[in-house]
Amino acid sequence: MKITIETPQFFQGQGRREYQEDSYKISESGRYFIVCDGLGGHQHGDLASKTVCNALAVYFDNQPPENYIVTKEYFDKAVMFAYSELDRKDPDPTSFKNMATTMTCVYFGDNGALVAHTGDSRVYQIRPKYYMPNYCKTATVLETKDHSLVQQLVDKGEITKEQAKTHPQRNIITKCMTANSDPDMPDYDSCSVIEGDYFFLCSDGVLENITVEVLCSVLAMRISGEEKKQNLFSYCNQKTSDNFTAVLVHVKSGYLPPVDFNTVQTEKPQAAKPAYDPEKTKNLLEKINAYLKEKFQK
């Protein structure tokens, strides 16, 4: 890998919910990180989030991209595999509301960091060295845009970002991964990655109490990664009504350019095997035998 990362940090809590429907995956290789949030209004949200997390991990581990050049086409194949697993594991495929989940993922290829998301779980890329609170400047390099009703209202200018936080329909999402339905493919983003960058993946429960300003402020502190994790966790613990899950990844060294989304992975052409011709084989053997007979007679 063309970057090195510190030991990833993570935290999770159930909030005041009856069930934990968030799932996350941290790869042993440090290549990928996933957070999913099962939909509580649908059935089996916990199973949905766990299935997508596990399916993506299985695909990434067993079919890595060639030379670790990650593309949208590669990631789409991984997502379609996850959809097939969702369909296979859905306990009630005839239900009006099939099991469903959000999905966020960061994949570190050798050609860049690909960020994928579906739903209202979120990914931030933070560059603390650019944090200037006195000038009201955060250090946000990338923030994924939620697939939600309130985000649509914000985009149309009908409500503000502040109003969206308390809007009565803030939990309605417009896109997710749903079993036994037409697949919704994720949105993709990518920015350059430099030493010191952080990637923060989280379910929407985290965002009840952690704003981008809080996130930038904590990550800019001169404390250990473990302390930063604990600091962020304290904003959620016993204060959040929803399930909350977050994964924090710190880039220790190296550089990655933005992923070129025009790159298309092509399958390596397989050399055609020559057809077997018994007559040619017979003639060749006769020539070899004749040559050896003549040679040894001399």
| Closest to 100 in 3D by CA, of 41, 18, 170 | 41
Answer whether 199's CB lies under 8 Å from 108's CB: no
pLDDT tens across 63-100, in order? 999 999 999 999 999 999 999 999 999 988 887 788 99
> What's the pLDDT at 282?
57
pLDDT tens across 20-36, in order? 999 999 999 999 999 99
What is the helix (H) or strand (E) element at residue 280, kind and residue range?
helix 278-297
> What's the pLDDT at 193?
98
> What's the pLDDT at 14?
93
Please state, for a pLDDT cut of 90, what percent of the chain lies above it: 72
Report the distance separating Cα 241 and Cα 174, nearest Å. Answer: 22
Identify the burial level of 287 via C-beta atoms within 10 angstroms of its C-beta, where 0-12 means exposed, 13-18 middle and 19 or more buried.
exposed
Name the domain count of the chain. 1
Which band of pLDDT confidence, cut at 50, 70 and 90, is reported for residue 162? Answer: confident
Assess whether pLDDT exceeds 70 at residue 289. Answer: no
**More reliable by pLDDT, 23 or 42:** 23
Per the prediction, the chain carries an average pLDDT of 89
Mean pLDDT, residues 252-262 taken together? 96
This prediction has a pTM of 0.86
Long-range contacts of 56-64 (CB under 8 A, 24+ apart): 56/25, 56/32, 56/81, 56/82, 56/103, 56/105, 57/25, 57/27, 57/32, 60/27, 60/31, 60/32, 60/107, 61/27, 64/31
Task: Measure Cα distances from 122 to 5, 31, 119 in Å.
Answer: 20, 18, 8
**More reliable by pLDDT, 166 or 75:** 75
> What's the pLDDT at 138?
73
**More reliable by pLDDT, 122 or 276:** 122
pLDDT tens across 210-229, in order? 999 999 999 999 999 999 99
Domain CATH number, residue 115: 3.60.40.10
> What's the pLDDT at 269?
43
Please state, for a pLDDT cut of 70, what percent of the chain lies above it: 87
Answer whether 123's CB lies under 8 Å from 67's CB: no
- The amino acid at residue 197 is D
Which band of pLDDT confidence, cut at 50, 70 and 90, is reported for residue 270? Answer: very low
Domain boundaries, position 70? 3-297
Range of lowest pLDDT (1-10, 54-63, 124-133, 258-267)? 258-267
Token code pair at residue 243: 């399930």
Pairing type for strands 32-37 and 140-143 reads: unpaired
